């Protein structure tokens, strides 16, 4: 029983709502365009969640081996860092979850495209790229998460690919305006990662993990954080604004500005003090991730109704 709890902790289930956000928004858009397919939506959601678990396990493994997770870590303890899971067991888990991602992805393509070989090849390539990206964020000889590319990857996979890809799997067409909600989800997801990196900046510097925050410093990274939040809200606002006969209540999703603003105020206070404690960062990381999930729900409700 204890080992089961350890693995559940290693899966980091609290990150899954953020992974689901792009799929939920894509589902709302599919309903708006009257192309919603429940089977494709559910398989897209399952695949996204499995990819997130894969990324979490690979991150645990990679950071433990490189020393980024050590006794000075200010975030939650990791499974390998704390010695609760061995490197060999973690590698086996990564292989198993990779296989599950492939199975889920292949089923998704089968439901979406049938025997359309051209679409199969394109999306199979995208799926393999997503799996490789999930693994090599902190694993391998050239982990891109250690080269200030994590924010870009999160924006692309949690935003553009997540929203547009899931929508296309149901509709098999795209509209240029769909970029706006996709960008919104991508920017909010990048904001979550940015809080994580602001928290870990001093330990990352010591372990030679180069993130965007390490390059910018906490103060400039906080300004970047504000731009991410503002950009996300503006893009989603303009999408609703461009709809025919949009009504005031359809801006309901802007309610998340309140918790996001409170989160930014808390972060500003800690950064001003140059605190090396992780408590406030951990709390606001959770709050921002939840706010992103709530945004996806509210935005989709607006589109559905």
Summarised one tens digit per residue, pLDDT across range 87-115 is 899 999 999 999 999 999 999 999 999 98
Indicate if the pLDDT at residue 191 is higher than 90: yes
- Check if the beta carbon of residue 277 is closer than 8 Å to that of residue 295: no
Q: What local confidence, expressed as pLDDT, does residue 68 receive?
A: 52
Is a pLDDT exceeding 60 seen at residue 1? no
Find the farthest-apart pair of alpha carbons in the chain and give their distance in angstroms, rounded.
59
Number of residues written out for the chain: 305
More confident residue, 8 or 46: 46
- pLDDT value of position 228: 98
Confidence of residue 4 (pLDDT cuts 50, 70, 90): confident
pLDDT, tens only, 250-275: 999 999 999 999 999 999 999 998 88
**What average pLDDT score do residues 167-180 get?**
96
Identify which of 77, 225, 80, 192 has the alpha carbon closest to the alpha carbon of residue 139. Answer: 80
**Closest among 243, 259, 247 to 293, alpha carbons compared:** 259
- SS3 label, residue 65: helix
Whole-model pTM? 0.92
pLDDT above 80: residue 219: yes
Backbone φ and ψ of 210, nearest 5°: -90, 105
Q: How confident is the model at residue 162 (pLDDT cuts 50, 70, 90)?
A: very high
Residue 207 token pair? 């372990």
pLDDT of residue 11: 87
| Confidence at residue 53, expressed as pLDDT on a 0 to 100 scale | 94
> pLDDT category, 276, cuts 50, 70, 90?
confident
User: Taking the chain, what is the end-to-end CA distance rounded to the nearest angstrom?
Assistant: 44
d(CA 152, CA 165): 17
Sign of the C-alpha dihedral computed for residues 184, 187, 190 and 191 taken in this order: negative
pLDDT given for residue 77 in this prediction: 62
Q: Write out the two tokens for 71.
A: 């006794």
Cβ atoms 289, 17 nearer than 8 A: yes
Radius of gyration of the chain (CA): 19
Burial 194-228 (b: 16+ CB within 10 A, else e): bbbbbbbbebbeebebbbbbbebebeebbebbeeb
Tell me, what DSSP letter sits at residue 153?
H
C-alpha dihedral sign at 286, 288, 291, 296: negative
Q: What is the mean pLDDT of residues 288-303?
A: 96
The whole-number pLDDT of residue 168 equals: 98
Beta strands (DSSP E) in the chain are: none
The pLDDT of residue 84 is above 90: no
Q: Where are the domains of the chain?
A: 2-304
Residue 24 clears pLDDT 70, i.e. is over it: yes
Compute the average pLDDT of residues 191-215: 92
Given a contact cutoff of 8 angstroms between Cβ atoms, the answer to whether 28 and 300 are in contact is yes
Joined tokens for residue 19: 């992974």
Report the pLDDT averaged over residues 282-294: 95
**123 close to 102: Cβ distance less than 8 angstroms:** no
């Amino acid at each position: 029983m204890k080992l089961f709890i350890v693995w559940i902790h290693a899966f980091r289930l609290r990150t899954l709502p953020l992974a689901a956000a792009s799929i939920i928004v894509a589902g709302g858009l599919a309903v708006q365009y009257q192309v919603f397919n429940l089977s494709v939506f559910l398989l897209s959601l399952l695949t996204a969640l499995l990819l997130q678990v894969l990324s979490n396990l690979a991150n645990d493994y990679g950071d433990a081996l490189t020393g980024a997770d050590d006794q000075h870590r200010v975030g939650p303890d990791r499974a390998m860092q704390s010695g609760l899971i061995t490197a060999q067991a973690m590698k086996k888990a990564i292989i198993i979850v990779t296989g599950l991602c492939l199975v889920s992805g292949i089923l998704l393509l089968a439901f979406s495209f049938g025997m359309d070989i051209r679409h199969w090849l394109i999306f199979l390539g995208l799926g393999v790229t997503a799996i490789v990206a999930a693994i090599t964020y902190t694993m391998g000889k050239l982990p891109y998460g250690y080269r200030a590319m994590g924010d870009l990857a999160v924006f692309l996979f949690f935003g553009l690919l997540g929203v547009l890809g899931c929508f296309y799997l149901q509709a098999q067409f795209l509209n240029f305006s769909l970029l706006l909600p996709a960008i919104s989800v991508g920017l909010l997801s990048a904001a979550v990662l940015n809080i994580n990196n602001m928290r870990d900046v001093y330990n990352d510097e010591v372990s030679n993990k180069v993130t965007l925050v390490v390059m910018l410093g906490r103060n400039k990274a906080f300004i970047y954080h504000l731009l991410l939040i503002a950009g996300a809200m503006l893009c989603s606002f303009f999408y609703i604004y461009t709809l025919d006969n949009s009504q005031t209540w359809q801006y309901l999703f802007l309610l998340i500005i309140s918790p996001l603003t409170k989160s930014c105020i808390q972060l500003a206070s800690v950064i001003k003090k140059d605190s090396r404690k992780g408590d406030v960062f951990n709390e606001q990381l959770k709050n921002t991730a939840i706010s992103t999930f709530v945004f996806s729900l509210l935005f989709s409700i607006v589109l559905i109704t």
